[in-house]
Amino acid sequence: MTRPFEGIRVIDATHVLAGPFAAYQLALFGADVIKVEDPNDPDQSRTSGSDRQLARDGMGVYFLTQGSNKRSIALDLKTAAGREIFKRLIATADVLVENYRPGAFDALGLGYDALSAIQPKLIYCSVSAFGHGGPRGNQTAYDFVIQATTGLMTMTGTPDVNPVKFGAPAVDYATGTMAAFALASALFQRERTGRGQRIDLAMYDVALMLAASHVAAYARTGKPPRPDGNNHAHATNCCYETKDGTLVMLGASNIRQQRRLWKLLDRPDMAKQTNDERLDDRAREMAVLGDILRTRTADEWEAFLQASHVPAGRVRTLPEALADPQLATRDFLHEHAGAPGVDGAFTVPVAAFRLAHGGAQVTSPPPTLGADTDAILGELGYDAAAIAEFRAAAVV
């Protein structure tokens, strides 16, 4: 079955996490993604991750996470010959994704104006820390720096322990997901207009979007969000210790659910008719819930409450979550039996949604640096002699 982006060529001139993840999502859904890396300074993610041997071998876990279905060309864009090859590659492309410091590609003669003159239908997506322009436009950052800059860290943690960064690079992956959405939008628009597009995507904006309700609340009330840890404004949305010391997170969020919860707990007298009543009685509700929830284990509470459609879940570790039978039904993970440069099997996430037909597929393992250089150069019309000259001159 045809996947959504089959026939679309994407030039992936990105590094680390956000940009490569965006290109990876398109690759899963059929795009021909060609990853361009400097042979002398490859993608930083190749040397990152908890498996030190893979990192030393240039196939780090961070790279493996989002390298499947891509082809790799090693190309030094600081050389004139490298830039000419890149331009020839762009002439065959639908999409370019780059995440270098704003102005870097323009300085190389590879900015939007130059490349759209070569390929008028090109969708040129630039991912950066703060966007192009503005007082921070030339600044650079990583996920955790953006968390600090946007206030995400100060609203995370507890009243006594804050600020705290997220345990996962959520801003990077949210930026990659947003970039994939932006690219899909631009491709859909191009189908109607026939015109290319310039996309300016900032991690800064994405991080603030992750806090969208807090942004709107502060704009209205002038009150910044507080680091409340595992607590919530409503007692029935908080985390509690249970009989065996494990934790359960309640999610009886709306009026109907909290009424159902109190009835199940044989305390219908605690049910409220309005959210104002819940806010006013929060301290007492938390004390009552704390006593009741210590009478069973978190697993028992989860099973009991979910059976009556009250959201609740035991707090789990990542290994526990990955072992959950539910995950096996979602086609979320793909196990590679092996790959060049990788000794043994490894597993990577795929896509966070399923299509009834033509969905995400992993068709090839992550490539070693420059694994497809000769083949791609051949597709562009270079013969063996020209390729040998490029190698001799360290262009590829």
pLDDT tens for residues 284-298?
A: 999 999 999 999 999
Average pLDDT of 44-53?
A: 97
Average pLDDT of 58-67?
A: 98
Q: Evaluate whether the domain defined by 235-322 bears CATH number 3.20.20.140.
A: no
| pTM for this model (two decimals) | 0.96
Q: What's the pLDDT at 1? A: 81
Q: What's the pLDDT at 131? A: 98
Spot the catalytic one: 113, 172, 228, 383. Answer: 172
Q: Which CATH number fits domain 9-210+330-392: 3.40.50.10540, 3.60.40.10, 3.40.30.10, 3.20.20.80?
A: 3.40.50.10540
Residue 159 has pLDDT above 90, yes or no: yes
Q: What's the pLDDT at 138? A: 95
Domain positions in the chain are 9-210+330-392, 235-322
10 touches 31 (CB < 8 A): yes
Q: What's the pLDDT at 313? A: 98
pLDDT-based confidence at 152, cuts 50/70/90? very high
Q: What's the pLDDT at 100? A: 95
- Active site includes 200? no
Average pLDDT of 271-285?
A: 98
214 touches 150 (CB < 8 A): no
Residue 40 to residue 35: CA distance in whole angstroms: 15
Average pLDDT of 147-157?
A: 98
Q: What's the pLDDT at 7? A: 98
**What are 90-110's pLDDT values in tens digits?**
999 999 999 999 999 999 999
